[in-house]
Chains A and B, each alone.
Chain A
Amino acid sequence: SQTIHQWPATLVQPVGSPLSLECTVEGTSNPNLYWYRQAAGRGLQLLFYSVGIGQISSEVPQNLSASRPQDRQFILSSKKLLLSDSGFYLCAWKSFTQGFGGYTFGSGTRLTVV
């Protein structure tokens, strides 16, 4: 079966510290992968998407970066966190089962920058 894993579930980090969030997908190959951020009252904002290994597209300029070192691995990083980076981060995989099936989301990471 196809599943998506995301960790850690919660994270509290001081301002200026580095960040690494990981997302992996199982049961599929060459998936399209996405990182979204959900800030309170602001819905979901697409941060990055990737259609293959080493291919990263950024939707908004920001303090974050993404990498895709393996086909089913997608990493969100920052060298120095800002207070404004706090939020709920979601990894997603686009399903093409039975035609366009929408996204499958991971369980999310709650990041609090203090």
Chain B
Amino acid sequence: AQSVTQLDSQVPVFEEAPVELRCNYSSSVSVYLFWYVQYPNQGLQLLLKYLSGSTLVKGINGFEAEFNKSQTSFHLRKPSVHISDTAEYFCAVSESGGYQKVTFGTGTKLQVIP
């Protein structure tokens, strides 16, 4: 079984400040990792994904995440946030083999303060 923990339910940050959204996972097998963004009353949009290779993954809208296998983490970062980044962010994990069912975290609401 696999699980995902997003430690912060809400993260307020001032505009142009850096932000880190934390994600930890547990799995007994190799995994793929994802970050999704959800704007109000919309579906989820894939921000970035880690499948293999370089542990630093760059995504859309200036976001990046680093896969740390020893700490079982996949934290999302952005060096300077904008008002338009206000949204809810979901971390997700999938086993790399088998049916590859995806498990989502409970989400982190990022509130960018002008």
Contacts and interface: CB of A to CB of B under 8 A. Distances in A.
B74 interface: no
A101 B49 contact: yes
A103 B51 contact: no
A110 B43 CA distance: 11
Interface residues of B, number: 23
B94 interface: yes
Interface in B3-62: 9, 32, 34, 36, 41-46, 49, 51
B42 A107 contact: yes
Interface string A73-114: 000000000000000101010100001111111111010000
Contacts of B44: 44, 90, 92, 103, 105
Interface of A: 6, 9, 36, 41-44, 46, 49, 88, 90, 92, 94, 99-108, 110
Interface of B: 9, 32, 34, 36, 41-46, 49, 51, 90, 92, 94, 96, 100-102, 104-107
